[in-house]
Structure 1
Amino acid sequence: MAAASFFRRWTAENDRILQAKSGELFMIATPKKAILQTNPKASYLAYKSEIDAAIQRVLDSGFYILGEEVAAFEQEFADFIGVPYGVSVANGTDALEIALRACNVGAGDVVLTVSHTAVATVAAIELVGAKPICIDIDPVTFTIDIDHLEAEIQYLQQSSELGTLKAIIPVHLYGYPANMPAIMELAQRYGLYVIEDCAQAHGAMLDHRKIGTWGDIAAFSLYPTKNLGAIGDAGIVVTQREDLADRLKSLRQYGWRERYISDIPGMNSRLDVLQAAILRVKLKYLNRDNQSRQTIAQTYTTQLAHLPVQLPQVAENVSHVYHQYVIQVEQRDNLFNFLKQQGVGVAIHYPLPVHLQRAYQGRVSPHTGDLKTTEQLCQKILSLPMHPFLTTEEVQTTIAELSKWFKD
């Protein structure tokens, strides 16, 4: 099929890079000039003096595992989201895995999610021994299709041969919230856990309510390119339920409730204290950084409106935080190559849906309907440069080069 063929061609070319970061599979055109698709270093430089001071504070403290610095970040992030409990972990994949374990999802269970996502979403489900099944997505929001979700739930409720349907993982992709009111209604009707994958939606809102407050539990990646990113791997899980918070704390450190005594089987997934200190600095500026993303997105939307591309559409009750600004365009591959040659950093998130990747083919597809929208979109999507520190000149150059390609 076309997507798989393009993926094979792309991996064969020396001037493109295949990256698998925290399970996140995407293509990046490496720019010749300084317009980067994302720029974690700029985030460090913007807050350098405070970050350097925070790092020195940790080094001077002599306390390097968990402790007050980590606890302070956990509470500050929980307060930002609007929940009472935050439990930090080593990375975003662990955040999903530990969230699943806290909800007692394991062998013999089934979890519904999407195929248009970072591989980490599906990998985490398999890490706990459960079976992932992928649902198609809405062509406008790129998030889980509610009608297809309900059809698959009804099928699985009537068929026990695959296992016990236990949870839904909606992915808030590119900074846009999934339809949480509809998802929660289905979950409550059928008795399912909802574990929000918020890896790309730090600060996003739906109906004036933060993403991460809707489900039973929510997992955030704090990878360097995220809206809130560490300088290394990091993750956090948040919840409104004290019982789940207690399990999360135990699970992330060998199942301990008291040191060296494991009450439940756990793992080792602790947030590094240096990363906690860095994240405390950057969290103070997250709203401002998200506003910068929104301003850049508005510029793109206004000045690209005349071109034959499909731009992101945002509902009135949504606050989109633009982890990515994703357009849909015919002849995407040609445009990708052209922008690369002009030095404009663009990306494809994601070039091949999870269900079409060799590791998952034939194992995660739904039993009702198909994944047609997912497969079609992966051939048209293109992520433009998007981070809070893009200059006006860089944004205008990106727009000009896009316009030039269509004109020529």
Structure 2
Amino acid sequence: MSKALPIGNDATAWNGHVKGSSGYSRVLAALALAGVATFAQLYSTQAVLPLMASDLGISAAEAALSISLATVGLAVTVLPWSFVADRIGRVRAMTIGIAAATVLGLLVPMAPSVPLLLGLRALEGMALGGIPAIAIAYLNEEVTKIHTALAAGSYVAGTTLGGLAGRLVAGPVGELWGWRAAALAVSLLAAVSAVLFLVLVPKQRRFSPAPALGFRAALGTLRGHSTNPKLVALYLQAFLLMGGFVAVYNYLGFRLHAEPFGLPATLVSLIFLAYLSGTVSSRWGAGLTIKFGRLNVLLAGIGIMSAGLALTLVDNLIAILVGLVIFTGGFFAAHSVGSGWTGAIATTGRAQAASLYNLSYYLGSSVIGWAGGLAFQALGWPALAWSVIGLACTTAAVTAVVHHRPRRSAS
């Protein structure tokens, strides 16, 4: 690990790891591994829900609680974790969260009952709640300002790989040896990623512990962020775009499984490979912010996302799959910019600012991801697709108006 500044040095004289340096490369690699460790575990049971339901004698909805409770656990703990990180340090907080989640993940396959299984998954999500927001706060402090957007994109790329790995590893293993073996395989993958994260992550050089905040002070910090129009616009973007994104992935499988396509479930599950376009676009989009600015790249990502989704309206399998890849790439490009921008705008309470972004992100996943099904069931795929495009256009309009400011604003 890179060494901290000697005692007596002014940490403010150091402007962060610069692109091309060893420290910068280690920050990117470590945060990508943190993303894999986090999101592989978060979605580890999604690919084996039918196997889990059959083995445990529960309904599909009950099996799906293994995903929902983990996600809810993450959402409700992002804010508490941010205050912990302000006191004990970003790296230490991430280390505790990843380690705890890995241990809990290894216990999940051994759960003898459904209530214990679901309880472990909820606790696993709560442990993981510390990673997404703290990672963004960490890189905003430790990477030189001009390259923070690119570093955030690398972290988001790691999250896409993690989410994909959690599904693709679990599926084949589960089909061969059952859902418990699948969950164990994903947990072992996360454990390896966690160890590599600990080895690679540089120590903090610009972190200063925040004083312990009372309840009023904590509310004041959150109130300041939630009344900042620029941050609120980004929180709205996270809520609407993530909600629409999850709704598309939740219900596109139903469309492809039904006529006129009639694809088997095994092939339908491969649509998650479209996540690879997000792995590329999250870093690519973040890198373009240096040349074109965050606002322009974010709006371009939203436009690409909408265009890709419009392609899925065609009753042609190739057009739908190409559209899904474009849609996914556009979403992750926009998300990588938005998530990194919160830390750049918030000069104080960065961890809390990022936590509010993640809270909005996962609330959107829960609320709109579910509500999109109402449109789909009532009026079919076109209603869902046009609804999500409408949400994307609303996001673009609000973001453009709020962030169209003089150049002195963060961009």
Whether TM-score is above 0.5 comes out as no
Bigger helix fraction: 2
Give TM-score scaled by structure 2 length: 0.25
